[in-house]
Structure 1
Amino acid sequence: MGTVEQSRAFVLVHGAGHGGWMWKQVRDQLHAKGHRVFTPTLTGLGERSHLMSGDITLQTHIDDVVNVFKWEDLTDAVLVGHSYAGWVVTGAMEQLEDRVSGIVYLDAFLPDNGQRGMDFLNEQQAAAFDEAQARGDVSRPGPNSKALRIQSEEDAAWVDSKITQQPIGVSLQALELTGARDRVAKKLYVRAPLFPQPRFDAALKRCQADDSWKTTVMENCGHDPMIDDPDAVVALLEDML
Structure 2
Amino acid sequence: MTKLHVTRRRLLRGATVVGLAGASASGVIEAAHAQAARKTFVFVSGAFCGGWIWRRVTDRLEQGGHKVFAPSLTGLADRSHLLSKDVNLDTHIADVVNLIKWESLENVCLVAWSLAGYVGSGALESIGDRVSSVVWLDAFIPADGQRAADTAAEPVRKGIQAAIEKGEAGVRGSAKYPPAVVAERDRVFAESKVTPHPVGAYLQPIKVTGALQKVAKKTYVRLPKFPMPPFDKALAECKSDKSWATFELPDVGHMAMLDAPDRLSELILQAA
The alignment's TM-score, normalised by the length of structure 2, stands at 0.84
Q: For residue 146 of structure 1, what is the aligned residue in structure 2? A: 178
1:142 to partner: Cα distance: 2.4
Tell me, which stretches of 5 or more residues in structure 2 are unaligned?
A: 1-30
Greater mean alpha carbon deviation, residues 133-142 or residues 218-227: 133-142
Tell whether the 8 Å contact from 2:220 to 2:245 is kept in structure 1 after alignment: yes
Tell whether the 8 Å contact from 1:139 to 1:166 is kept in structure 2 after alignment: yes
Cα deviations across residues 157-201 of structure 1 (Å, max 9, x unaligned)?
Answer: 111110111110001111111111100000011111111111111
Q: For residue 2 of structure 1, what is the aligned residue in structure 2? A: 32
Cα deviations across residues 31-58 of structure 1 (Å, max 9, x unaligned)?
Answer: 0111000000000010111111000000
The answer as to 2:99 corresponding to 1:99 is no
Q: For residue 92 of structure 2, what is the aligned residue in structure 1? A: 61
Cα deviations across residues 202-227 of structure 1 (Å, max 9, x unaligned)?
Answer: 11111111111011001111101111
1:3 to partner: Cα distance: 2.7
Which of these residues, 257, 260, 270, is aligned with residue 226 of structure 1?
A: 257
Tell whether the 8 Å contact from 1:54 to 1:169 is kept in structure 2 after alignment: yes
Tell whether the 8 Å contact from 1:152 to 1:228 is kept in structure 2 after alignment: no
Q: For residue 50 of structure 1, what is the aligned residue in structure 2? A: 81
Cα deviations across residues 83-109 of structure 1 (Å, max 9, x unaligned)?
Answer: 010000000000111100001110111
Greater mean alpha carbon deviation, residues 137-146 or residues 87-96: 137-146
CA distance in 2, matches of 1:123, 1:217: 24
Count of aligned positions: 240
RMSD: 1.6
Greater mean alpha carbon deviation, residues 129-138 or residues 94-103: 129-138
- What letter is aligned with 1:3? H
1:145 to partner: Cα distance: 2.6
- What letter is aligned with 1:88? V
1:148 to partner: Cα distance: 5.2
CA distance in 2, matches of 1:148, 1:74: 35
CA distance in 1, matches of 2:48, 2:154: 21
Tell me, which stretches of 5 or more residues in structure 1 are unaligned?
A: none
CA distance in 1, matches of 2:165, 2:173: 19
CA distance in 2, matches of 1:209, 1:57: 32
Tell whether the 8 Å contact from 2:153 to 2:228 is kept in structure 1 after alignment: no
Q: For residue 14 of structure 1, what is the aligned residue in structure 2? A: 45
The alignment's TM-score, normalised by the length of structure 1, stands at 0.95
CA distance in 1, matches of 2:153, 2:257: 26
Query: Which SS does the other structure have where 1:3 is aligned?
Result: helix
Query: Which SS does the other structure have where 1:10 is aligned?
Result: strand
Q: For residue 207 of structure 1, what is the aligned residue in structure 2? A: 238
Q: How does 1:48-127 map to 2 (within 5 A)?
A: 48-121=79-152, 125-127=156-158
Which of these residues, 187, 201, 204, is aligned with residue 156 of structure 1?
A: 187
